[in-house]
Amino acid sequence: MTGNITDGSIALLGEKMAQAEAILIGAGAGMSTAAGFTYSGKRFHQWFFDFEQAYGIRDMYSGGFYPFPSREIYWAWWSRQIYLNRYVDAPLPVYPQLLDLVHGKEYFVLTTNVDHQFQRAGFDKKRLFYTQGDYGLFQKERPGRKKETWDNEGLVYRMLEAQGFVKDRDGRYQVPADGHIRKAIPASLVPKAPDDGSPLVMNLRCDDTFVEDVGWHRAAGQYQEFLRKFQDKKILYLELGVGMNTPGIIKYSFWQRTADNSHSFYVSINKGMAFCPEKIRSRSLCLDGDIALVLEKLAQRKKA
């Protein structure tokens, strides 16, 4: 079934979730966008107006690839992007609503997002696999055989304070009232590896230098164990906001697993990209619409 969000499609989704022995959630960028983590517009202008004026950058995504002239400026940018997309809760309650909907179920989350919002919302960290990295981790620019990462929260906060950001009454960093901030950090705050002083970068999968550390491999193992346990059971493959950037990780995998297991059911919710192959269409629900709206309607249905 493919189409827009209707009372009938919401009822069908609710029934499939209730009937499933397990739910495998596959979440892409559209999930966080639905939760309010936009990379442009007001959110971008408020925090990056100085970079926009100086370098003509128009959004956080493109800014992440900009060749800044120094590491001090590079990390001024990245400290803001990390903070906004890793250390604050999403503006809309999409993640907590999803957690409530799968409460009491056997579930696992496979995601290409790096903002850690599932764990912030209370999802069990043993049921999460962040395949593409974590905004909250540093790794060496040129990693050797020892695959290590380092938490960055404390240093990111110091970078923000060095630029002039201030905390509000709730402990969240804000642009100061006078709007005066610096788009560079002191050289002393540029991240370096504690063992040899070599440069650190974000633990994001951009090329073959990406570090798959102990935590990454542990999560990968937990994901494989979940698949083994439920691969022939009544499992719901719930795909949320997954596009065609890296479709092999979630989308194609979910399609194939649905085709291989006649007891399974596939759901895709995405604006403009909710579709599936013909061979699984009879056991699929593809909703072209806002994930936040679908989860809100499911939450209302659950309360009724």
pLDDT at 175: 94
> Are 110 and 17 in a shared domain?
yes
> Are 52 and 125 in a shared domain?
no
> Are 157 and 79 in a shared domain?
yes
> Are 164 and 284 in a shared domain?
no
Q: How many CA atoms lie within 13 A of 186 on its CB side?
A: 7
By the 8 A CB rule, do 27 and 241 touch? Answer: yes
SS3 50: helix
CATH of the domain at 113: 3.40.50.1220
Specify if 198 maps to a domain.
no
- Does position 1 have pLDDT exceeding 80, yes or no? no
Please count the structural domains in the chain. Answer: 2
Specify if 138 maps to a domain.
no
CA dihedral defined by 76, 80, 82, 85, rounded to 10 degrees?
Answer: -160
> Are 29 and 42 in a shared domain?
no
- Does position 2 have pLDDT exceeding 90, yes or no? no
- Tell me the backbone φ, ψ of residue 147, rounded to 5 degrees: -90, 95
Specify if 214 maps to a domain.
yes
Region 48-60: what's the mean pLDDT?
96
> Are 215 and 245 in a shared domain?
yes
> Are 22 and 44 in a shared domain?
no
By the 8 A CB rule, do 123 and 111 touch? Answer: no
> Are 13 and 110 in a shared domain?
yes
Q: Report which of residues 302 and 226 the model is more confident about.
A: 226
> Are 229 and 177 in a shared domain?
no
pLDDT tens, position by position, 208-254:
999 999 999 999 999 999 999 999 999 999 999 999 888 999 999 99
Region 177-201: what's the mean pLDDT?
95
> Are 297 and 215 in a shared domain?
yes
Specify if 230 maps to a domain.
yes
For residue 295 the two structure tokens come to: 């989860």
Region 281-295: what's the mean pLDDT?
94
> Are 244 and 281 in a shared domain?
yes
Region 155-168: what's the mean pLDDT?
97
Which residue, 181, 192, 189, is CA-closest to 158? 189
This prediction's pTM: 0.94
pLDDT tens, position by position, 80-126:
999 999 999 999 999 999 999 999 999 999 999 999 999 999 999 99
Which of 87-118 are b and which e, b meaning 16 or more Cβ less than 10 Å from the residue's Cβ?
A: beebebbbbbbbbbbbeeebbbbbbbbbbbbb
Question: 269, exposed or middle or buried, with CB in 10 Å at 0-12, 13-18, 19+?
Answer: buried
pLDDT at 245: 85
> Are 276 and 178 in a shared domain?
no
* Residues in CB range of 257: below 8 A, 6 or more apart: 227, 231, 235, 237, 264
- Residue 50's domain comprises 38-89+153-190
Confidence of residue 190 (pLDDT cuts 50, 70, 90): very high
By the 8 A CB rule, do 28 and 112 touch? Answer: yes
pLDDT at 5: 84
pLDDT at 273: 84
Average pLDDT over the chain reads 95
Specify if 195 maps to a domain.
no
